[in-house]
């Protein structure tokens, strides 16, 4: 008789084996999921109801761009003091930060240690993770909208109080309380409403703007101004007197209303105006120092030595005039600096280490437009600027606000998706040319913003726009030597050149005929920094929204003028690599540049504007619409 040996398996051991088997299967499934989803959004992820789980980063960006287009097409309603106002998201410069949204989606399921990520996967096998949008409006566009609402809806302007000159005589401007939209809080409410899945009619807060100065403060300031301008002031140097007449003092007088603590009217004499009065007599008092300077010949740079001298310091003169004006004798000392060094010495320029042309870029334009005047004015301001090693260069801060007083003219600026004339418009071409010199020179990009719509006169993807005060362009000189910025222009071109030290390596480029050309006239030594820049093909194509209509009572019923043509939008990816001797110095830089579609703008008779309440006069004939295209 045969006997068979058998072993009875304990039930607990059976349970352990089963559970272990289940976990092996789950771990295998998890590993497969992670491997397949390496470059994709993991799990079931939705952004405001739009599923993006399983999409690549570029596909997810395209999906969010489609959501943005829908949100930008919705008109938002708000109330101010019980009065209704409408806001067009496109005109407000509303922009969804699709890269931030997709980055957040890519982090879903990937945060924490391996065990935490596995447990998250288990918990979310059959659940959906919902994410919201992030984005913002354009500051300049919103300020224009707030200005319109303040004047047209609220209509209670504020006066902070001031002293103004009228025909050479100081006059008081007394404070008056006003009311305006609370811009900071209202911007937050508006942006939250525009980002919501179902925007609500929100009430925008207003604030009473109470001047911090009183009528008595203005009267006291007026008395001080009259005292300052009551007679001549003598500035003495040795045995010579330089007299500033009451008329000259009145011309140089300025005042500022300061609202910070303590609030006050500050009196001053303008140093530039004072300098104008000093110019005819400087030769009697001074031998002016001569600054050392850089001289450029072709692509070479050298130093012209400085010369010491004596000079009258105009800023100090203006301050001493102010002090003397409040004394009984009305006499001050003329601040003549004897044997003064030039402001820029030969040694200081040598220590900058500027030796060669590092990068140069040129773009082209049609002659004789108002925008060309603005481009050339900005170029003149930036020309010969020095950026020391480690320092940042802020283009807006350096140039200052573009105003008519500085010679800037109205020209086209993109605001809220529409080309509008603003003083100083068109200078984005200088910004783009400047930015390309930064890009190909290998300098650190702190902030820049591409145009919202594409223009073929700019390199696609590698370009920048600028406005006052945003968007801005800032870079850091991340090299061991200083940079000297040189600008030059013709009737049809603008060039920006950076002189510094890159071991003899020079990069030149231009944008001409819609094509970008980059070449290297000098390859430099083994320690030279090399820049590689690429732009991807176009993706995430988008179509323009419906046209915007502008009413013109002077138009016939059948007249339609096209002020702005429509165009498609798309995105590209820009990549920059920085190498020395074939070794990558920093991590590869990548960013997506999104060009928006541009809606058409049509000018018509007011009764033809969609949504208006005006009834068109009856006509007996119908004439087909004709358009007159005006390109931007």
What confidence score (pLDDT) does residue 193 get? 93
Task: Calculate the alpha carbon distances from 478 to 358, 371, 390, 578 in Å.
Answer: 13, 32, 5, 12
Per DSSP bridges, beta strands 240-244 and 253-258 are: unpaired
pLDDT at 312 over 60: yes
- Taking each helix axis from N to C end, the angle separating 139-149 and 183-195, rounded to the nearest 10 degrees, works out to 110
Supply the pTM of this predicted model: 0.56
Look at the chain and count its residues. Answer: 632
Max avg pLDDT among 22-31, 182-191, 279-288, 560-569: 182-191
Where residue 519 falls among pLDDT bands split at 50, 70, 90? Answer: very high
Please say if the pLDDT value at position 229 is more than 80.
yes
How much is the average pLDDT of 246-256? 96
Cβ atoms within 10 A of the Cβ of 261, count? 7
**pLDDT for 615:** 79
What does the pLDDT read at residue 354? 97
- Mind listing the pLDDT tens digit for each residue in 103-131? 888 888 777 776 666 666 666 666 788 88
pLDDT of residue 271: 96
> Which pLDDT value is given to residue 306?
92
pLDDT band, very low/low/confident/very high, at 360 (cuts 50, 70, 90): very high
pLDDT tens column, 140-175: 999 999 989 998 899 888 888 999 999 999 999 999
Res 49: pLDDT: 86
Report, as an integer, the average pLDDT of 399-421: 82
The per-residue pLDDT for 624 is 44
Q: Is the pLDDT of residue 620 over 80?
A: no
Could you tell me whether strands 529-535 and 569-580 are parallel, antiparallel, or unpaired per DSSP bridges?
A: antiparallel
In contact, 603 and 630? CB cutoff 8 Å: no
Which residues, including other chains, have CB under 8 Å from residue 488's CB and lie 6 or more apart? 379, 383, 495, 497
Residue 358: CB atoms within 10 Å: 29
> What does the pLDDT look like over 26-62, one tens digit per residue?
555 555 555 555 678 877 888 888 898 888 888 888 9
The reported pLDDT for the residue numbered 361 is 98
Pairing of strands 76-80, 202-203: parallel
Largest CA distance in the chain: 143
| Rounded distance between C-alpha atoms, residue 455 and residue 469, angstroms | 22
Contact 569, 98 (CB under 8 A): no
Q: How far is CA 424 from CA 292, 368, 378, 523, in A?
A: 32, 15, 9, 38
Structure tokens at 363: 């773009």
Round to whole Å and give the CA distance between 307 and 342: 7
Residues 6+ apart with CB under 8 A from 518: 440, 507, 508, 509, 533
Q: Which residue has the tokens 């045995």?
A: 239
Question: Does the structure show a pLDDT above 60 at 629?
Answer: no
* Residue 81 backbone dihedrals phi, psi, to 5 degrees: 50, 40
Q: Using pLDDT thresholds of 50, 70 and 90, give the confidence band for residue 545.
A: confident
Amino acid 627: pLDDT? 41
Q: Which domains does the chain have, with CATH numbers?
A: 20-76+90-136 (no CATH), 212-349 (3.10.20), 353-608 (no CATH)
> Given a cut of 90, is residue 21 above it in pLDDT?
no
Tell me the average pLDDT across 590-594: 93
Q: Which residues pair with 601 in a beta bridge?
A: 548, 564
Mean pLDDT of the 553-557 span: 88
Average pLDDT over residues 221-241: 94
CA distance 422 to 403: 10
Which H or E run contains 208? strand 206-209
Q: What is the pLDDT of residue 622?
A: 42
The mean of the pLDDT values for the chain is 87
CA-wise closest residue to 53 among 134, 121, 117: 121
Residues in contact with 516: Cβ distance below 8 Å, sequence separation at least 6, in sequence order: 459, 460, 462, 509, 510
Residue 200 has pLDDT above 90, yes or no: no
**pLDDT range class, residue 419, cuts 50, 70, 90:** low
Left (φ > 0), alpha (ψ -120 to 50) or beta: where does 293 sit? beta
Contacting residues for 252 by C-beta, under 8 A, at least 6 apart: 244, 269, 270, 273, 274, 277, 318, 321
Evaluate if residue 614 carries a pLDDT over 80. no
Q: Calculate what percentage of the chain has a pLDDT beyond 70.
A: 89
Q: Which H or E run contains 254?
A: strand 253-258
Residue 331's closest CA among 244, 260, 395, 397? 244
Q: Is the pLDDT of residue 421 over 80?
A: no
Cβ(463)–Cβ(411) below 8 Å: no
pLDDT at 48: 87
pLDDT-derived band of residue 573, with 50, 70 and 90 as boundaries? very high
pLDDT tens, position by position, 446-469: 999 999 888 888 999 999 999 998
> Which are the contacts of 458, defined by CB distance < 8 A and separation ≥ 6?
363, 429, 432, 451, 511
pLDDT score for 435: 98
Give me 394's structure tokens: 């802020």
> Which contiguous run of DSSP H or E holds residue 105?
helix 98-107
User: What is the average pLDDT across 307-330?
Assistant: 93
The 10 Å CB-count burial string (b at 16+, else e) for 109-119 is beeeeeeeebe
pLDDT value for 267: 96
Q: Closest Cα partner for 149 from 78, 251, 55, 50?
A: 78
289 token code pair: 């120092």
């Amino acid at each position: 008789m045969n006997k068979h040996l058998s072993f009875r398996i304990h039930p607990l051991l059976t349970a352990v084996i089963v559970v272990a088997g289940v976990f092996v299967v789950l771990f295998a499934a998890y590993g497969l999921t992670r491997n397949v989803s390496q470059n994709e959004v993991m799990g079931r992820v939705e952004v405001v109801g739009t599923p993006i789980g399983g999409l690549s980063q570029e596909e997810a960006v395209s999906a969010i761009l489609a959501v943005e287009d829908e949100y930008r097409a919705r008109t938002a309603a708000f109330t101010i003091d019980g009065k209704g106002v409408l806001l067009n998201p496109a005109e407000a410069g509303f922009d969804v930060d699709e890269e931030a949204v997709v980055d957040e989606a890519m982090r879903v399921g990937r945060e924490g240690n391996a065990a935490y990520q596995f447990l998250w996967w288990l918990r979310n096998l059959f659940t959906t993770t919902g994410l919201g949008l992030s984005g913002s409006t354009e500051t300049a566009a919103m300020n224009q909208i707030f200005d319109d609402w303040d004047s047209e809806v609220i209509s209670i302007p504020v006066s902070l109080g001031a002293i103004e000159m009228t025909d050479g005589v100081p006059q008081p401007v007394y404070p008056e309380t006003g009311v305006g939209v609370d811009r900071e809080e209202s911007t937050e409410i508006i942006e939250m409403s525009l980002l919501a899945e179902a925007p609500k009619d929100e009430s925008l807060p207003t604030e009473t703007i109470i001047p911090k100065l009183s009528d008595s403060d203005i009267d006291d300031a007026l008395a001080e101004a009259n005292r300052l301008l009551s007679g001549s002031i003598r500035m003495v140097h040795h045995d010579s007197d330089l007299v500033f007449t009451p008329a000259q003092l009145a011309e140089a007088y300025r005042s500022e209303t300061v609202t910070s603590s303590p609030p006050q009217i500050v009196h001053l004499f303008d140093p530039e105006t004072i300098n104008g009065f000093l110019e005819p007599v400087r030769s009697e008092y001074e031998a002016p120092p001569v600054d050392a300077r850089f001289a450029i010949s072709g692509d070479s740079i050298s130093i012209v030595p400085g010369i010491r001298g004596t000079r009258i310091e105009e800023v100090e003169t203006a301050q001493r005039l102010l002090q003397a004006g409040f004394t009984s004798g009305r006499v001050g000392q003329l601040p003549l600096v004897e044997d003064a060094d030039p402001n820029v010495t030969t040694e200081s320029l040598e220590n900058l280490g500027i030796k060669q042309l590092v990068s140069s870029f040129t773009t082209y334009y049609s002659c004789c437009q108002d925008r060309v005047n603005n481009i050339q004015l900005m170029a003149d301001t930036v020309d010969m600027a020095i950026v020391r090693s480690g320092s940042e260069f802020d283009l807006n801060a350096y140039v200052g606000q573009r105003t008519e007083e500085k010679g800037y003219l109205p020209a086209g600026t993109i605001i809220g998706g529409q080309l509008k004339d603003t003083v100083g418009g068109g200078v984005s071409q200088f910004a783009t040319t400047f930015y390309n010199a930064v890009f190909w020179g290998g300098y650190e990009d702190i902030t820049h913003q591409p145009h919202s719509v594409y223009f073929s006169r700019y390199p696609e993807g590698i370009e920048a726009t600028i406005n006052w005060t945003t968007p801005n362009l800032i870079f850091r000189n991340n090299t061991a030597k200083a940079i000297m910025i040189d600008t030059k222009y013709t009737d049809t071109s603008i060039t920006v050149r950076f002189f510094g030290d890159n071991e003899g390596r020079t990069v030149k480029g231009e944008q001409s005929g819609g094509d970008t050309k980059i070449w290297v006239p000098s390859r430099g030594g083994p320690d030279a920094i090399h820049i590689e820049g690429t732009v991807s093909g176009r993706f995430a194509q988008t179509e323009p929204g419906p046209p915007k209509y502008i009413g013109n009572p002077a138009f016939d019923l059948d007249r339609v003028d096209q002020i702005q043509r429509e165009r498609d939008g798309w995105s590209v990816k820009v990549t920059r690599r920085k190498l020395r001797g074939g070794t990558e110095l920093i991590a590869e830089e990548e960013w997506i540049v999104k060009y928006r579609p541009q809606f058409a703008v049509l000018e018509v008779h007011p009764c033809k504007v969609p949504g208006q309440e005006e009834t068109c006069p009856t006509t007996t004939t119908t004439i087909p619409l004709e358009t007159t295209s005006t390109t931007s």
